[in-house]
Every structure is written in C-alpha cells, then in structure tokens.
Structure 1
Amino acid sequence: MATTRTAFEDLPASVHTAIEERTGPLLKIESVTAGFNSEISARIFSEAGTCFVKGLRTDHPRAWTQRREAEVNPYLRGRGIAPALLWSLEAAGWHLLAFEALDGHHADYSPGSPDLPKVAATLRHTR
C-alpha cells in the first residue's frame, strides 16, 4: 500500500500548536522526501534546536508500526543503531514522532560501497 505524503504546512493548526508546545516557535521547516512509510516527514528547526518529525494519521493501516517504533526506541538509542526519540504526540487525528536530527544518508548496498561494512557491523551489534 502506497503512503501519500502530506506537506507539513497542510497539517491542522492544532497539530502545529502541539508541536510548538514541545519545541517552541518554529523557525524553519524542510520537507524530507526520502522514505516510504510516513505521510509527514520533515526536519524542524526551532528555538529548542533541530529534530526530525515523521507521522501517520491515527487511522492509517500501518499506524501500529509507528507506535512500535516508539516502544523499541529506548532499547536502541545510545547504541549507534537509531536516533533518540525526543517526543511523541497525538493531535487532530495525527500521530507524530520526533527524533534527534542526524546528518547522513540512506545506506548504499551496491557492491564495493563503503557503507557495507558499517551495515554489517550494525547487524552484528549485540547487547
């Protein structure tokens, strides 16, 4: 099932307000086009700093996957596997997750890619 993207600006005003209650006034929004699982995806710059926000409508068939991502995050953060979850919110029919913003790129899995040893090391990572 394809997920249709919604522009951050098209979220209900009450969702923007709920975000600003956590971040302070928003200074800049950069839409993120990579990825296929979120209806909303953006880097948010605010007085509190920068974070990555992704989300789905609460009635989306895959909404449960986002809740699961929030549940497992405490076990992954600080291990070099996933960025820390900063906050989660539900407002006006949307469920949003905010993560620490990291600079990087999607892994390149092509033969000879310098990303392959890093991916392999992550897969071998144990407690």
Structure 2
Amino acid sequence: MRRYVSDAAELTEEYGIQIGRWKQYRDLGPLPFDAMWCVIPPGGSSAEDVHPEVEFAVVTRGTAIYEEGGEKVEVPTGGVILLDPEQRHVIHNPSPVQPLTILSIYWMPQDAAAVADAADADAAAATDGASGGAGRD
C-alpha cells in the first residue's frame, strides 16, 4: 500500500497556480493516465486552460468554482468535475483563507476508447466462461 499526500508534493508554478505532477512519484511506474495536484492560493484563480485530454478533477480540499464562457459551477470538497477535450476553463478559489487542492487525472480520449473496448471484450469473455463457453465442444 502506498500513500501520496498533496502537502508533501513537489510543486512548480504552472497555469498561474502550483502544480505537482505525479511523474515525481517514480515508484508508481507507468500509469494508464497522467495526474497532478493543483493548488490554488486563497482568493486565487488559474490561468485559462484548454487541452486535448479528458480531465477528471477531484476537489480534495476547499471549494472550487469552475468557469467556462461565463458559466460557473461550484464543486465542494469530495466533488468531481469532468471536462471534455478542448473545453476552456478557469478554476477559482473563493476562500479568503484556505488553499484549494484538486487532484486532476487526465488522459487522451482515444486511450479511453481503447480501454472501454478492452473492458467490453473482457466482459464478453467472462460471460462466455461463466456460461460454460457457449459454442465450444
């Protein structure tokens, strides 16, 4: 069992906020996704961001306000927002005292399709095996 905590992560300045890429955890080896900690100071905001990846962002501390084209969505601690590829967004930390921490997990969309196809094939194989291998002698 391994434990990773945002407070102990090596952070760099990117997108106008502090970022801790999970590549720093060399003991993980290759993962089927990329991930990073995002830390936004009290009252701060990220720069506008747009990227080709799907992003699954979990708010681990504080409340985030995601903004896209004037629309704002509040995401509390424990909440998740899913961003589609090329979806422009800004993240705001409305707290005047508490940093906002987000775990961002992201991947290229075609990777997700390949994973879904493999999962469907595994499920079909498991179903065939459970039914005695329909079509086999």
**Normalising by the residue count of structure 2, what TM-score does the alignment of the two structures yield?**
0.30
Instruction: Name whichever structure is richer in helix by fraction.
Output: 1
Instruction: Name whichever structure is richer in strand by fraction.
Output: 2
Between 1 and 2, higher relative CO (CA 8 Å, sep ≥ 6) is seen in: 2
